[in-house]
Amino acid sequence: MAMRIVIPRSAFALVATVAALGGCGGSAAPQLSHDELTDPQTCKTCHPTQYQDWSGSMHAYATDDPVFQAMNQRAQVGTFCVTCHAPMAVRENLTDGTNLAAIAPPMRGITCYFCHSIESVTGTHNDPLVLATDDGLFGPFADPVAGSPHRVGYSRLLDGTTTDSATACGSCHDIQNLQGAHVERTFQEWQATTLSVPPAGESCAECHMVGSPGAVSTTTPTKIRRVHNHGFPAVDLAIGDFPVADPQNDIAPQNTAQQTQAQAFLDTTVQSTLCLNPQTNRLQLTLDNVAAAGHSWPSGATPDRRVWVELTAYQGGTVIYASGNTMPVAGFPSALPLEDASPDPDLWLIRDCLFDGSGKQITLFWEAASIGPSNQLPGLLIQNVNDPSTYQTHMMKEYPDAGRSATLPATPDHVTVQLHLQAIGDDVLASLVASGDLDAAIPPQIARYQIGGGGTLDWTPTSATVFHAPDAATGAVMTCVTSGSYKSNTTLTTSHATCAP
Ligand code: HEC
Ligand code: HEC
Ligand code: HEC
Ligand code: HEC
Ligand code: HEC
């Protein structure tokens, strides 16, 4: 590594430095060396906000994530995993996938340089990104202010207002494992939604990189543009403080911020509607993927994610029916384990199931030969209230399940619904601990959410003011509560249990 040049913070001093170096930005030769450009610490001087956000993101943490390290060690698949989790270390020939501890901090995670030097995208999955070879950086502005110590140029791939930018994010957010099983499909899902269609489409960045007015560089304080959040909160959380090397030590731990932002994002993702059908004496729960409409929900690491519904019905304060409970409720089976083996016959569990070549269900995504039929909540296929496929973001299930003859034992006077998400299933974590690849102290620290907002409902005869149109099957008028503004759709309903084939 070359010594990092010290760049003064004040604009006045910078002009002097740049002049001394003989550069003037724009197309001039970059004044920062390749080693300096590839180190996020260099960028922090002038782009402290982007640096601060990024340093508390899963992109910065992608090589350090202890579950990643455990899986990578167990998988023994060469550079397959680090191609995305330490992409700069792979491009610079610094890793064969086994020496993660030896990778220097500037090369860990998905760095500023990696994303900002993307020149072209040559495929749809497994990181087929081509980087510029002349150390040129790309960004969203066609009129960069002169004076930056690096080359800059506009690229649609780095401009969140274009759907083209989604091809850059998407080609990493889509994994086919070495057996060809499509284990993560976020980009394919996005391509299938109406949000992939310009001009009305929405890129990944439009939802995941919220913009606000601000100066792009501390050296250009009067040039106010739209700057974008680089924190990418979603589901996974760092375990312990983010380890981003920070010699100046002026970035506080960002764990609380990451957790708060992920929780807030999840709370607005789903809307739910619960109806009592007095004729069948069953409850109908509809979950609607409203905010993650650019892909299914959950998306990405769905073989590891566990989303489930906890529903409890009462009469006079006594529980008359319960499903999805992980704490004991007398008289009702526990939902645990959150797998097909769950003793809860009505459990609504959203996950992807994996199978080996002989069709046997397995736990670890890189070993899969095929993937079961998905029961994710789909994204928005078409936006037209007259078209039934608009409602495919809605998934409905009956309690007790329609596949059983059981009905509620009595008419409830109170029903609660709570949506849960655990980032990685207990079965996956237990397998990694058992093989000695994961420290047993990690599993209890894996992100677990009770999804608030649209993920909770409280039905009582008085709160159920939405009187539903007649239920198509029975003609009954149902009493419903909804966390959203839409009326539960009765034409296109799918009942989902687990994803067993
Ligand atoms: C000495 C200050 C300085 C440093 C260090 C610096 N930049 Fe910049 N950068 C600038 C200035 C000035 C601009 C232009 C701001 C504007 O046009 O509003 C800029 C613009 C950008 C843009 C937007 C370009 C566009 O046209 O959209 C990106 C992306 C960028 N820098 C990335 C980086 C990265 C990555 C690093 C670290 C390798 C880095 N910068 C280091 C000063 C700096
Ligand atoms: C995962 C890819 C990715 C990483 C990693 C990344 N950026 Fe960006 N960055 C983007 C995208 C995409 C945009 C444009 C967003 C838009 O237009 O909606 C952007 C925009 C910018 C801009 C223009 C101003 C703004 O905020 O929009 C600067 C400057 C910048 N990034 C600097 C950095 C620095 C510095 C780092 C590392 C600390 C970094 N970026 C890491 C993808 C990335
Ligand atoms: C080099 C491949 C790569 C590129 C390019 C990339 N990502 Fe990522 N991204 C990852 C990896 C790997 C992780 C997960 C790190 C971990 O959890 O260990 C991740 C994590 C995320 C997360 C957090 C997921 C969670 O559940 O917590 C979001 C959101 C995200 N990326 C969005 C984007 C967007 C938007 C872009 C484009 C601007 C982008 N990514 C570009 C590889 C990439
Ligand atoms: C219409 C807005 C929207 C668009 C467009 C969008 N997302 Fe998302 N995304 C969301 C929301 C909302 C969530 C769920 C919130 C959460 O997970 O915290 C989410 C979740 C995610 C997650 C975490 C998934 C999980 O369950 O582990 C990743 C990764 C992600 N998005 C990546 C992408 C990528 C890559 C693209 C583009 C190909 C994209 N998103 C497009 C809104 C969007
Ligand atoms: C094509 C790029 C790519 C490859 C190859 C890849 N990952 Fe990832 N990985 C991602 C992205 C993107 C995410 C974020 C997905 C999400 O948040 O839902 C992720 C998330 C993760 C996570 C956190 C979420 C979870 O699943 O628990 C772990 C751990 C992980 N990857 C391990 C691995 C291992 C081990 C390998 C190799 C067997 C691997 N990855 C290969 C892109 C990749």
Residue 169 is predicted with a pLDDT of 98
Distance of CA 369 to the CA centre of its chain: 24
Query: Greatest CA span in the chain, whole angstroms?
Result: 83
Average pLDDT on 16-26 reads: 32
Residue 495 is predicted with a pLDDT of 53
pLDDT of 247 > 60? The answer is no
Supply angle C-alpha 358, 360, 363, rounded to 5: 125
CB 67 within 8 A of CB 424: yes
pLDDT band at residue 26 using 50, 70 and 90 as cut-offs: very low
Average pLDDT on 198-202 reads: 89
Give dist(CA 464, CA 180) in Å, integer.
48
Taking alpha carbons only, the member of 468, 488, 487 closest to residue 477 is 468
Percent of the chain with pLDDT over 70: 85
Give 318 Cα–ligand 4 centroid separation in angstroms. Answer: 39
Average pLDDT taken over every residue of the chain: 88
Taking alpha carbons only, the member of 183, 454, 480 closest to residue 309 is 454
Closest atom of ligand 2 to 44 CA is 35
Give residue-wise pLDDT tens across range 400-449. 987 888 999 999 999 999 999 999 999 999 999 999 999 999 999 999 99
Which of 92, 163, 232 best tests ligand 3's pocket when mutated (most atoms within 8 Å of CB)? 232
Q: What are phi and psi of 400, to 5 degrees?
A: -55, 160
Give dist(CA 423, CA 255) in Å, integer.
16
Alpha-carbon torsion, ordered 68, 232, 262, 185, to 10 deg: -60
Give 351 Cα–ligand 1 centroid separation in angstroms. Answer: 41
Taking alpha carbons only, the member of 33, 44, 18 closest to residue 135 is 33
User: What Rg value do the Cα atoms of the chain yield, rounded?
Assistant: 25
Give residue-wise pLDDT tens across range 338-369. 988 899 999 999 999 999 999 999 999 999 99
Give 294 Cα–ligand 5 centroid separation in angstroms. Answer: 19
Q: Answer yes or no: is the C-beta of 84 below 6 A from any ligand 3 atom.
A: yes
pLDDT of 487 > 60? The answer is no
pLDDT of 24 > 80? The answer is no
Give 310 Cα–ligand 2 centroid separation in angstroms. Answer: 39
Q: Answer yes or no: is the C-beta of 23 below 6 A from any ligand 3 atom.
A: no
Of 309-313, 328-332, 391-395, 431-435, the one with minimum mean pLDDT is 391-395
Average pLDDT on 467-493 reads: 68
Which of 190, 204, 263, 297 best tests ligand 4's pocket when mutated (most atoms within 8 Å of CB)? 204
pLDDT band at residue 246 using 50, 70 and 90 as cut-offs: low
Of 201-205, 313-317, 451-455, 466-470, the one with minimum mean pLDDT is 466-470
Residue 486 is predicted with a pLDDT of 56
Closest C-alpha residue for ligand 4 atom 40: 204
Ligand 1 contacts (CB < 6 A) are 7, 14, 37, 42-43, 45-47, 112-113, 116, 137, 139-141, 144-145, 147-150, 152, 154, 216-217, 219-220, 223, 225
pLDDT band at residue 471 using 50, 70 and 90 as cut-offs: low
Exposed e or buried b per residue across 367-378, where buried means at least 16 C-beta atoms within 10 angstroms of its C-beta: bbbebbebbbbb
- Other beta carbons within 10 angstroms of residue 123's beta carbon come to 11
Comparison of pLDDT for 197 and 251, the residue scoring more: 197
Of 211-215, 358-362, 463-467, the one with minimum mean pLDDT is 463-467
Give dist(CA 165, CA 162) in Å, integer.
6
Average pLDDT on 85-105 reads: 97
On the question of a cis peptide bond just before residue 400, with omega within 30 degrees of 0, the verdict is yes
AA letter at 380? L
Q: Answer yes or no: is the C-beta of 125 below 6 A from any ligand 3 atom.
A: no
Q: Answer yes or no: is the C-beta of 208 below 6 A from any ligand 4 atom.
A: yes
pLDDT band at residue 327 using 50, 70 and 90 as cut-offs: very high
pLDDT band at residue 372 using 50, 70 and 90 as cut-offs: confident
Q: Which residues contact 434 (CB under 8 A, 6 or more apart)?
A: none
Average pLDDT on 78-88 reads: 98
Give residue-wise pLDDT tens across range 148-172. 999 999 999 999 999 999 999 999 9
Average pLDDT on 310-323 reads: 97
Q: Which residues contact 351 (CB under 8 A, 6 or more apart)?
A: 302, 303, 305, 306, 307, 338, 375, 425, 498, 499
AA letter at 330? A
Tokens 């790309």 sit on residue: 138
pLDDT of 498 > 90? The answer is no
Distance of CA 305 to the CA centre of its chain: 10
On the question of a cis peptide bond just before residue 298, with omega within 30 degrees of 0, the verdict is yes
pLDDT of 191 > 90? The answer is yes
Of 223-227, 466-470, 486-490, the one with minimum mean pLDDT is 486-490
Give 175 Cα–ligand 5 centroid separation in angstroms. Answer: 8
Percent of the chain with pLDDT over 90: 73
Residue 477 is predicted with a pLDDT of 80
The segment with the largest mean pLDDT, out of 15-24, 370-379, 479-488, 489-498, is 370-379
Give residue-wise pLDDT tens across range 114-151. 999 999 999 999 999 999 999 999 999 999 999 899 99
Exposed e or buried b per residue across 141-156, where buried means at least 16 C-beta atoms within 10 angstroms of its C-beta: beebbebbbbbbbebe
CB 124 within 8 A of CB 174: yes
CB 275 within 8 A of CB 283: yes
Which of 152, 154, 162, 224 best tests ligand 1's pocket when mutated (most atoms within 8 Å of CB)? 152
